């Protein structure tokens, strides 16, 4: 297959590129904005047609959650409009699209893990535009697979794990929110799940993927410091109200992964196991 990967310079895009050597039977077209402007409908249609693209893995997104509150137009263009362009273009070739979505499509007021059939109710511009993106790709491509994920981190780009390691080394004290719980997701694990789906055959519909387990941001920070060998920084728990942000965050964003595990026969690692792998890679 000829596979287009968008947002290749991001966390997930980089992790997918590391796996591509294991799938030499396919030809990958790794693009970011310099190679393909996905907000340009004509450019997308031309690229997909010219390179005879059979499938798209859309890793591109506007992910600055707080800035999105003041940049709704740009956020909508990248998270809602562009995915629809990609879906429509690949549909013309009878192809498929994997659209990456988010736990932010839910308001986080549940008390048990979210399943795919739960009714979304986003509480931020970011969440709203990502939900609209889900609906758009499903409208324009019959073979659209949506994967919602949460708390993504990697050795690439800026993310919570790298920030907490840096701050842990720089500061003697740190306050981290304890009343928001979810599951961290190592982008390398998500990338592998996507490639497994590509190999076994894309199934249309919504799927959830994160690592296994449940933890707060505070406990996650303590684990990051412990595994990274940081002992000089005292971490204190904060209430969400003590750390106001422009966008509302879901207080509970645990995703149920049963559907993707049963559909593709995959085992998902426990969050701490994957965190250790990431920290080791960062050390290297």
pLDDT in tens, 30-61: 999 999 999 999 999 999 999 999 999 999 99
Mean pLDDT, to the nearest integer, of 241-252?
89
Question: How far, in Å, CA of 100 to CA of 147, rounded?
Answer: 5
Q: Are 158 and 11 in contact (CB under 8 A)?
A: no
Q: Beta strands of 114-154 (E only): which ranges? A: 144-149, 152-153
Of 156, 185, 171, which is closest to residue 230 (Cα–Cα)?
Answer: 171
Q: Is 126 a catalytic residue?
A: yes
Tally of residues, the chain: 284
Q: How far apart are CA 58 and CA 95, in angstroms?
A: 13
Per-residue pLDDT band for 243 (boundaries 50, 70, 90) equals confident
In sequence order, what are the beta bridge partners of 205? Answer: 145
Beta carbons of 48 and 89 less than 8 angstroms apart: yes
What is the per-residue pLDDT for 284? 87
The reported pLDDT for the residue numbered 22 is 97
pLDDT score for 232: 94
How much is the pLDDT for 161? 98
Beta-strand relationship, 185-186 and 234-238: unpaired
What's the mean pLDDT when you consider all of the chain? 97
pLDDT in tens, 98-147: 999 999 999 999 999 999 999 999 999 999 999 999 999 999 999 999 99
User: Of residues 126, 153, 186, 218, which has the active-site annotation?
Assistant: 126
Tokens for 10?
């991001």
User: Does residue 219 register a pLDDT over 90?
Assistant: yes
Q: Which of 80, 203, 77, 232 is nearest to 143 (CA)?
A: 203
For the packed helices 187-200 and 271-283, what is the interaxial angle rounded to 10 degrees? Answer: 110
- Nearest C-alpha neighbor of 212 from the set 267, 279, 148: 267
Q: pLDDT digit string (tens) for 129-143?
A: 999 999 999 999 999
């Amino acid at each position: 297959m000829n596979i287009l990967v968008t947002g290749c310079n991001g966390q997930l895009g980089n992790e997918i590129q590391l796996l591509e050597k294991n799938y030499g039977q396919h030809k990958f077209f790794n693009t970011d904005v310099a190679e393909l402007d996905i907000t340009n409908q004509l450019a997308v249609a031309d690229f997909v047609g010219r390179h005879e693209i059979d499938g798209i893995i859309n890793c591109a997104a506007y992910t600055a959650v707080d800035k999105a509150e003041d940049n709704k137009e740009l956020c909508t263009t990248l998270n809602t409009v562009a995915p629809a362009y990609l879906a429509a273009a690949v549909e013309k070739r009878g192809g498929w699209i994997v659209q990456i979505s988010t736990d932010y499509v839910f308001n986080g007021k549940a008390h048990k893990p979210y399943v795919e059939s739960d009714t979304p109710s986003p509480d931020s511009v970011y969440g709203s535009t990502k939900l609209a993106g889900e609906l758009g790709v499903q409208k324009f491509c019959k073979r659209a697979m949506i994967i919602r994920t949460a708390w993504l981190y990697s050795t690439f780009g800026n993310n919570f794990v790298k920030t907490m390691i840096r701050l842990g080394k720089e500061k003697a004290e740190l306050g981290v929110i304890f009343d928001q719980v979810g599951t961290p997701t190592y982008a390398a694990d998500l990338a592998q799940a996507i490639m497994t789906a590509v190999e076994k055959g894309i199934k249309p519909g919504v799927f959830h993927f994160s690592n296994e387990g449940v933890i707060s941001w505070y406990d996650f920070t303590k684990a990051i410091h412990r595994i990274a060998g940081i002992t000089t920084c005292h971490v204190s728990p904060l209430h969400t109200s003590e750390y106001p942000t422009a966008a509302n965050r879901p207080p509970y964003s645990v995703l149920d992964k049963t559907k993707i595990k049963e559909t593709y026969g995959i085992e998902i690692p426990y969050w701490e196991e994957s965190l250790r792998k990431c920290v080791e890679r960062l050390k290297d």
